[in-house]
Structure 1
Amino acid sequence: MRLLFGFCLLFFLNFAEVRAASLEILVKQQKVVLPYLLFKGKKQRGGVVIINGEQNNEGSELVDNLGTELAKHGWSIALLNTSLQINSVPWIEQLPEALSALRQKNNPRMIVIHYGSQLEGSVNYFTKLQSKQVNGMIFLSAFDQPENKEIPNLIHKIPFPLLDIIGQFDYEPVLAQAAARHLSIKNDRYLYRQLPGANHDYSYNKKILMANIHGWMKKLRTTNPVKPPIKHDKPQILLH
């Protein structure tokens, strides 16, 4: 509720190019309404789904702030909260439809940011052949509790770029699991960064966090929207 309230406050802020809205999706015949920040400016960089895996206020404040700042830099933001089951629909079942809804808005890039716990759910989803593919994904202080030691092996199957960010003074499980990923994953698609002086909620490091995330995302390749096939009129046969 705190996160949703934070986004609702944006209705009263005078951002000329950012508008607070809601993203309606349909999952198993259930209507789900997600918090959504729509960028209305000319330079639309892409759509981002932020998955909040934390249940505390500090985690919600971080996601709220990050979403707002990204929106002001040209990204349209949809939020998923792993602790909320809207209309009894788990977050992992909301993810594909949220991605589809953003893609239909002609976003040139599609990105997922997973913050906090329950990383296994996101990783498992994107290793499936039928998953909705994106242009890139960010692990932000991401971890599992208990740890799934197969995660580094599963990440090898993900075909798009990954950015793994943690804070220098992050939670111990975050530090340990990120270190295991960093040692195990050796390919050009994976990039690991530790932000000096940062803790799990990046209280005093929000600007440098934003710079790292926005800087990496805007360099990702764009995807051209699929245009419908051109229909040609059948030639008329003239009888003489």
Structure 2
Amino acid sequence: AVELAYQNIEPDQAGNKPTTFYLMHIAPANSTISELLGVAYEKVVNSMDYGLANFLGYTNGTELYADLLRSRGQEATTSLGHSRSTLIQESGHTILANRPDENGNTYTNPNLSVRGVGGAADAESYTEAAFKIIQDPNKKGNITYNYFSNDPVSTSNLSGGNPGVWTLKDLWQVIDTDNSMHSSYGTGAVGSTQVEIPVLGGPSQGTLDGNAKLIRYKGGQQVDAQGNPINVKQ
């Protein structure tokens, strides 16, 4: 988990990553069925409005994330989520935007940056929830969400539901390997043919065709590799 988290951190303009980061790791359930049920519950709660979701109860991981983010106050903070963790981010932001503290204030932080990769969350709702915390229109671009168009976690109607097409071969690769497109965000995994941010000397450079399947959102708007808006035909 630590290795994957570090891999997914976006390098700065000089190609460097931070020397210190904090990982919130939620241990998987004891069985695959229990794990799938847990993810399904998070997805269902994530799709509800705050009132109903709060009545049913957010998961412990979501509550912990919200508490940790609130404890940061107005400090510059980057929140990174991968796969299921994007649901925790989105729900945590919803909690903070709706649940007042002891002084009656909901949480905001214009110095927050939010990054999701290979997420099980919808890109638009993910952005909207994060923006309720940042609130500054000039900083909406600090919310990014990237995924490969053949990543089943991000594009399946049972999870992320974002635009894209995947095959059974793609799904099996996610299940059976540790270097599938779903495990190759950030600077990528060894041997992967799809890498989000290929770097010189990195674990893998991916391939032109594989890397070209990356879909990028910035501030809720689909963009190209240079960050320029893309007009997508509906």
TM-score (ref. length: structure 1): 0.33
Larger radius of gyration between Structure 1 and Structure 2: 1
Structure (1/2) with the larger strand percentage: 1
